[in-house]
Amino acid sequence: MPTTLKPSGIRLADLAARIGAALDGDGDVRVDHVATLDNAGPGALAFLSGNKYRGQLAATRAAAIILAPVHAGATRLPKLVHANPYVAYAVAARALYPAERAVSGVHPSAVVAASAQVDATAAVGPGAVIGERTRIAPRAEVGAGCVVGADVFLGEDVVLHPNVTLYARSVVGARTIILAGAVIGSDGFGMAEEDGRWLRIPQVGRVVIGMDCEIGANTTIDRGAIDDTVIEDDVKLDNQIQVGHNCVIGAHTAIAGCVGIAGSTSIGRNCKIGGAAMISGHLRIVDNVVISGCTGVFHSIDAPGVYTGAWPALPHREWLHAMSATRRLRSLEARLHALERAGGAAGDNEREEGA
């Protein structure tokens, strides 16, 4: 959904009330856009969420700052003081850049099946295709070039950006946003091997996406082989993620780009998974787990916490040395055990001779 800048800006006092912040300074100051501390100019609203950029406060030309109480004394500029400056910034940015809704109605170039039900307040863009018996709820938006298969349900205020594909029987909950090029409900990778050849297994489940989710550009979510693939409420998926068939991703979980999740894996609620992590199939990951970027997960995770399985970057020669040492660990361990056994035997002999 595109956004538009509010041309007249917003009074700082009004913005403070909207985001639940304490106003410190001139409430009549108007802000009309957001900017970083070092690039801010007149009319800009900037924010400081930690100590890293505190040194930029003295030189910033922003009209106003969002910051935490601990930093409130570091600048004389008008400020909005909030316990969580990043959340306050998010709310302020949404106020300054309100979403621009598409015009209701079906574009003349769209193809809508006769049995489909499209609410009068919904919008179907140019070249979109809507399948048989599909239901599109009030204020939903289907962007240009989208293909929505048969028996799909789109909830209220759902937004499909251009060229999204929803296969048959997919379900998308209210207020969910799916970005351009995503493919929802394609066949899972289900194959049975017979005499050196692969036999394709029909994938008969669905993809069910909850409310208030976001699915990133070119992300793919396979439908279930038998049971459904389920994305629970308020899940945030970045771009170019692969979710295999029969996976379940718990509510409020966020997953960064290029993560691959093999089939039949269950990920708990409130998890955070870093970019390019690879997760094997048929695993269970409990609630409140954090997985660092590039980590390979090959076994279930049964306890909350932070899990890391990637080497930090090293100069190449240092990396070669570390890898060489790592490859020798097994032989070094065997030698150590042999020495311990030899030392133990020698000690036993000495005790026998002393007796």
Q: Give per-residue pLDDT as tens, 84-108.
A: 999 999 999 999 998 888 999 999 9
* pLDDT tens digits, 287-315: 999 999 999 999 999 999 999 998 889 99
Cα–Cα distance between 16 and 5 in angstroms, integer? 19
Ranges assigned E (strand) in 12-50: 22-24, 30-31, 33-34, 44-47
Buried b (16+ CB within 10 A) or exposed e, 149-175: bebbbbbbbbbbbbbbbbbbbbbbbbb
* 121-127 long-range Cβ contacts below 8 angstroms, 24+ apart: 122/154, 125/162
By C-alpha distance, which of 251, 246, 253, 256 is closest to 281? 246
Alpha-helical runs (H) found in 46-139? 85-96
3 domain residue, yes or no: no
Give me the amino acid identity at 91: V
Q: Are residues 89 and 189 in the same domain?
A: no
Q: Say which amino acid occupies 13.
A: A
Strands across the sheet containing 305-307: 105-106, 123-124, 141-142, 159-160, 177-178, 214-215, 236-237, 254-255, 272-273, 289-291, 305-307
Residue 209: inside a domain, yes or no?
yes
pLDDT for position 349: 59
Predicted confidence band at 342 (pLDDT cuts at 50, 70, 90)?
confident
Active site residue 245: yes
In single-letter form, the type of residue at position 184 comes to I
Among 245, 252, 282, 321, the active-site one is 245
Q: What is the largest CA-CA distance in the chain?
A: 103
CB 31 within 8 A of CB 8: no
Token pair of 321 as six digits: 């040395």
Containing structural domain, residue 16: 10-96
Average pLDDT over residues 50-61: 90
Q: How many structural domains compose the chain?
A: 3
Domain membership flag for residue 355 = no
Are residues 82 and 178 located together in one domain of the fold? no
CA dist., res. 54 & res. 80, Å (int): 16
pLDDT of residue 180: 98
Same-domain check for residues 48 and 178: no
Please tell me the predicted confidence (pLDDT) of residue 347.
58
Does residue 346 carry a pLDDT above 80? no
Same-domain status, 243 and 116:
yes
pLDDT band with cut points at 50, 70 and 90 for residue 263: very high
Q: pLDDT tens across 129-175, in order? A: 999 999 999 999 999 999 999 999 999 999 999 999 999 999 999 99
Q: Rounded to two decimals, what is the model's pTM?
A: 0.90
